[in-house]
Structure 1
């Protein structure tokens, strides 16, 4: 370790200790301070780890959490960044507060922002990349989906020996010829047919001839068993697959992987993809199917991903939303709730959320409007808030929700939630709104303070 990296490490560790001792959190500032002193510190910190990079638009945090659970069934020492601090400074911070390994060469499973993959691979050569999906998201940062994928590929090209473990149902991940070894996962749960994607679906042009892709079946968004009737481009053979879907509720999903039964304690078809990705990583590193099944049964919740928080007599489920495909999957998931519930929508537009809120108009909020009408509506009450409360309120109005309650001040949202008429409450919130709400919940003693909780 050079003098510069030694000083940078000392400053980073000291700031981490101070923040977590006296300020109850802080996951990115130590890394920011350390990299100002030594911009190449990540090379020093990560050189003794076998690193797995998990990236993509949706599902990074849960895929990372499930992958860590799976790997800890076999490996004693697995480092990760559990709070979703997935840019360079957050990743440096993760290494800074890692405990010294006692088992030789440990694993590091890192959630990495798409644009930051290259900031990792210029210093660290991972043993594997995991690609979840690519959807339109935060266009002020990323642009179109092809631009987003290029940012990822630019980083991957610096590590040509790393294995790519990719969602085979996403055609972009099969569109660039790379020298890396490849493992594909996806769904094989339906009989083959011939269908086209719904109107307004992104990413359905053949990367070879630009003809509109057809599908033998679709799961959601642009994902499925695709093929081009013009040039023959098609989905690659899958190494690991969902072969059957079972019972689906907001709190559990049953399914089969390669013909064997599994269950995770979280709802949504999209989360089965996350579990499948974790399964693929586990098999890549020789974790047995029995060990993976045991890992999936953990009821540990993940920050902002269907956390259930008890607020008075309410069971409040907190769910992060950030783009049309994601919010549509969340809407479909909460509508599997068998009991009446209340809906809370919190919309911010800071840099971490994406400053352009026009994406809400591509979300299928009309399903919520339909579920909140009639003689016996499933949704008994609607509440909106956040810095862009006017936008989300108007969007619900257009979707058929005539008069939602409105609370612009997020510090008062908890009091409003306590007044809702149902025991079950689903809160859909953008990233900084999740942070602000969790801070208020911590202040009220309803959860542990700080993001690391």
Structure 2
């Protein structure tokens, strides 16, 4: 290790200690300082790790958490970025925070990485495997169309052609480009083949070989399913791992079968079964048995902003991150499982980390809530008025919608809510701000 690298590593670790000791912490600053002192520090930090990169539009955080829980059943030295700080500086910070490996030891790094950051870190990390969750329209002001996002992912994979790519086989875009990398695919295979009509405004349903509209023998949601082209030989690839059955989907958990083995996870929604299947596929790549994966999944907990449950003076809160139309629609399907009266809170921000363009809320199917047992609607955030207008257009009673200006007012409104159950849908920076307020006022633990 060079003197420069040693100093950079020491400064980063000291900064992490200071932030943890005297503040609420900080996931990016230690990495930023270390990288400033040594631009190549990540090469050194990652050299004794087998790295798995988890990337895609939705599902990175939960997939990462489930994978880590599973791998802990077999491997003692696992590094991850649990705060969701998934850009270059946050990844460096995660390595700085890891316990030192003994001489000759190797660790495993399971890293959630933002699609836009891949090109900055892949050469240094030299991943053993990439896991691609999905590609949907997301932050179009930052990324552009879905094909731009996918190009970022394939360009990164091409930098490390020996790395295996494990991808969602139900997504046509993941089968649209040839790669030198070894490839595996996973998907849903629990339905008998039947013809399914896909909504005409669905993204990425044109055949990449001949431009004909793809057909489907089964469909889970959006453009995910058993697709085929009626005009050429393009179709869903053979699956290495698959969901064979759905047992039960409730508001708080999901039971299903993968490769003939039964699993339960403490989060709801069809989209989270995809995340579990992703994690299962990655854990299998690292040699875990289905029994070990099941044991790991049984210890899983809800992660930041993904169906977090807490209370505010007798009101049970279910908090969900929403950030693009496909994810929003899946969360709305989840909320619709609640047959008890509830209050709905929608917090819409348009900071850089959220995406400055909020037109995506108009592609969300809020109309699904027209017949829901909603007793009260509260809107807040930087774009509260836009959210209020969207809900009015969706058919919710405009006289029952209350706009509040800040988190204090929001919490006070929730305290007075006529419903014991409250569903909060919030964008990324809104969740950060709300959680900080709740922690500072002792409604939520750090």
Partner of 1:123, secondary structure, is helix
Answer whether contact 1:118 1:156 (CA < 8 A) is retained. Answer: no
Within-5 A mapping of 1:34-433: 34-102=34-102, 104-371=105-372, 378-401=373-396, 402-403=398-399, 404-433=401-430
**Cα distance, 1:424 vs structure 2:** 1.4
**Cα distance, 1:99 vs structure 2:** 0.8
Partner of 1:157, secondary structure, is helix
Partner of 2:75, secondary structure, is coil
Partner of 2:310, secondary structure, is strand
Answer whether contact 2:66 2:300 (CA < 8 A) is retained. Answer: no
Answer whether contact 2:65 2:300 (CA < 8 A) is retained. Answer: no
Partner of 1:411, secondary structure, is helix
Change (3 A) 1:363 1:342: same
Q: Distance in 1 between matches of 2:4 and 2:213?
A: 54
Q: Distance in 2 between matches of 1:31 and 1:157?
A: 26
Task: Encode CA deviations 1:301-324: one digit per residue, 9 max, x unaligned.
Answer: 201111101111011111100000
Partner of 1:219, secondary structure, is strand
Question: What's the Cα RMSD here?
Answer: 1.2
Q: Distance in 1 between matches of 2:153 and 2:38?
A: 24
Answer whether contact 1:168 1:236 (CA < 8 A) is retained. Answer: yes
**Cα distance, 1:275 vs structure 2:** 0.2
2:433 is matched with which residue? 436
Task: Encode CA deviations 1:7-54: one digit per residue, 9 max, x unaligned.
Answer: 211221111111111111110111111112222111011111110000
Answer whether contact 2:73 2:292 (CA < 8 A) is retained. Answer: yes
Structure 1 stretch displaced more, 33-42 or 64-73 = 33-42
Answer whether contact 1:119 1:155 (CA < 8 A) is retained. Answer: no
Structure 1 residues not aligned, in runs of 5+: 372-377
Partner of 2:281, secondary structure, is helix
The alignment's TM-score, normalised by the length of structure 1, stands at 0.96
**Cα distance, 1:299 vs structure 2:** 4.9
Q: Distance in 2 between matches of 1:2 and 1:175?
A: 44
Answer whether contact 1:411 1:437 (CA < 8 A) is retained. Answer: no
Q: Distance in 1 between matches of 2:370 and 2:377?
A: 10
Structure 1 stretch displaced more, 433-442 or 206-215 = 206-215
Q: Distance in 1 between matches of 2:211 and 2:40?
A: 41
Partner of 1:391, secondary structure, is helix
Structure 1 stretch displaced more, 380-389 or 95-104 = 95-104
